[in-house]
Amino acid sequence: MKFKELWQERQQLVEAALTAELNKETPVDKTLTESMEYSLMAGGKRLRPVLLMAAADALGADGTKFIKTGCAIEMIHTYSLIHDDLPAMDDDDYRRGKLTNHKVYGAGMATLAGDALLTLAFEVMLRQPGADAQTLVQVVREMSTAAGPDGMVGGQALDMESEDKRIDMETLRRMHMGKTGALFRAAIRSGAILAGASAEQLAALTEYADKFGLAFQITDDILDVVGDEALIGKPVGSDEKNHKSTYVTLTSLAEARKLAQDTVAEAVAALAIFGPEADFLRDLVNYLVDRNK
C-alpha cells in the first residue's frame, strides 16, 4: 500500500475509534461532551496516533492493535490545542478551519473540555488490550512526562514567557522540544514499547522522534510565513502577531529550509537498523518538509 493511502486508512481507523470512545455512555453533562467532541472530531492529520502505530509496525508488529493508546495521545494533543487557543494563551479565533472551542462554547467550558480530554486519555490508555501491567505503566509514564512540566506544558510556559523577547536558538530548541516534540517522542516511544522494542531499537526510534519533532517545528515556522491560510486552517502570521522568535526569525527563510532538510536526513539515518517495515516513517518525515498544511 502506498504511503498516503496507508496514512489515510490509519486516519479513518483513528476517527472511528475516537467516536467510539466518546459515545460509550450517557454523559454527565451534554454540553461538556459536545465541546470535547467539537475539537476532538474537528479533523486534523491524526499524526500522533499514526506515528504510534507506525513505530510498532517498524518492529514487525501490527500497529493497529494499539489504536486505543493512539486515541489517548490524540486526546492529550487536542486538549493542548483547546487551551493554547484560549484568550489567556494565544487567543486564536480559528483552528483547523473552524472557530476555536472557546469561541463556540465560551472560555470556561473550553477549559473544562480540555481538562476532561486530558483526564480521559489516561483512562483510555489503561484499557489498551494485549499489554501487561508493567508495559502499561511504562506507557503511562511516557505520556505523563511528555504532557507535563518536563514536556509539553513546560514548553508552553517557556513559549508564553518568550513573547516580546528575542530568545537564543538553544532556548527556542528547548521550548519546541517540550511544546511540540514531547508528544511526538511519546507517541513513537509508546508504540515501540507496546511492540516489545529492544534497547537498541528504542534508542534508534527515539533519535528519529527527536529529529522528526524538530523538522516538524521548523516547517511549521516556515508555513507561518509562506503558508496558504485556506490550507493551513488558521491565520498565517500569528507568530509575528504574538512577537515570537522562530527558526525563521532567528536565521532566515532560506536557512530554516536548509535546517529542515538536514534534520530530515538525520531522522532517516536514525532508522538504518530497520528494514522496509519502517518505510512509512521514512516517507513521512520526507513528506513533512514539503507539506503545505
CATH number at residue 68: 1.10.600.10
Rounded to whole angstroms, the Cα distance separating 250 from 248 reads 6
Q: What is the pLDDT of residue 43?
A: 85
C-alpha cell at 131: 499489554
Residue 219 lies in a domain: yes
Element (H, E) at 98: strand 98-99
List the domain range (segments joined by +) for residue 178.
Answer: 3-288
* Single-letter amino acid code for the residue at 220: D
Rounded to whole angstroms, the Cα distance separating 201 from 204 reads 5
- What Cα–Cα distance (Å) separates residue 274 from each residue in 60, 130, 259, 286? 10, 24, 25, 17
From the first residue on, what is the mean pLDDT of each consecutive set of 10 residues in the chain (293 residues)? 88 95 83 96 93 98 97 98 94 90 97 97 96 96 96 93 86 91 97 97 98 93 72 50 75 90 96 97 90 59
Rounded to whole angstroms, the Cα distance separating 40 from 18 reads 8
Rounded to whole angstroms, the Cα distance separating 181 from 185 reads 6
Q: What is the pLDDT of residue 288?
A: 83
Q: What is the pLDDT of residue 227?
A: 52
Residue 42 lies in a domain: yes
Residue 207 lies in a domain: yes
pTM (2 d.p.): 0.91
Concatenated DSSP letters for 74-118? HHHHHHHHHHHTSTTTT--SEETTEE-HHHHH-HHHHHHHHHHHH
Q: What is the pLDDT of residue 243?
A: 57
Q: What is the pLDDT of residue 234?
A: 47
Which residue has cell 536558538?
169
The answer to whether 48 and 121 have CB atoms below 8 angstroms apart is no
Q: What is the pLDDT of residue 232?
A: 46
**Total domains, the chain:** 1
Q: What angle do CA 178, 122, 104 make, to 5 degrees?
A: 75
148-165 burial: b if 16+ Cβ within 10 Å, else e: eeebbbbbbebbeebeee
Residue 138 lies in a domain: yes
Residue 293 lies in a domain: no
Residue 84 lies in a domain: yes
Rounded to whole angstroms, the Cα distance separating 248 from 291 reads 17
